[in-house]
Structure 1
Amino acid sequence: MVSRKITIINPSGLHLRPAGNLCKESLKYKSKIKINFGDKSANAKSVLSVLGVCIKFGDEIEFVCEGTDEEEALEAVCTLADDGFGENE
């Protein structure tokens, strides 16, 4: 199991489009990818689960990956987050 904390840089937080981009990226990996936010957690492979945690700009979340490709999965989702989940293009 590997994990990393990141801060959300999207001005609108994780609304539908960035949550969808996160889900799309997460589905490329076999590992379980979870988001921890406060006392809540979400499955990063489910858009509804991600939207349900109501993550906003400036919030600190933790990605937790567990499985055969956990290192690659963690790197991919953190890189996506650092790039604004595809919204800062």
Structure 2
Amino acid sequence: MKSKEIKIQLESGLEARPAAMLVQVASQYASSIYLIDGDKNINAKSIMGMMTLTLQAGEEVKVQADGEDEDTAIEGIEKYLTNS
């Protein structure tokens, strides 16, 4: 299991459309992927779960991945959240 703190650099934060795009990115990986914000532990592959996160640009979120491609999964999520 790997985890990393990532600063959200999406201009609009994680509102509806960017959250839906993040679910698509996360769904490309075999690993279980969770976004952790305080006491919320949200499955990054769940659109309903992602809609409950209201993270703004500049906020940090912990991304946790567990599985065969966990390193690649975290890199992919980081790339999306940081627009790089």
| TM-score normalized with structure 2 length | 0.91
Aligned twin of 1:81 = 81
Which residues of structure 1 form unaligned runs of 5+? Answer: 85-89
What pairs with 1:45-64 in structure 2 (closer than 5 Å)?
45-64=45-64
After superposing the two structures, state which structure 1 stretch, 46-55 or 60-69, moved more. Answer: 46-55
Q: Distance in 2 between matches of 1:72 and 1:12?
A: 25
Shift of 1:35: 0.2
Computed over aligned residues only, the root mean square deviation of the Cα atoms, in angstroms, reads: 1.3
- Alpha-carbon distance between aligned partners in 2 of 1:29 and 1:15, rounded to the nearest angstrom: 22
Percent identity reads 33
Task: Report the counterpart of residue 32 of structure 1 in structure 2.
Answer: 32
With the length of structure 1 as denominator, give the TM-score of the two structures.
0.86
Q: Is the 8 A contact 2:34 2:65 kept in 1?
A: yes
Confirm or deny that 1:14 pairs with 2:20. no
5+ residue gaps in structure 2?
none
Runs of 4+ off more than 4 Å: none
User: How far did 1:10 drift?
Assistant: 2.5
Once residues 28 and 10 of structure 2 are traced to their aligned partners in structure 1, the CA distance between those partners, rounded to angstroms, is: 23
User: What's the CA shift for 1:7?
Assistant: 1.3
Deviates more, 1:5-14 or 1:20-29: 5-14
1:50 to partner: Cα distance: 1.1
* Contact 2:34-2:64 at 8 Å conserved across structures: yes
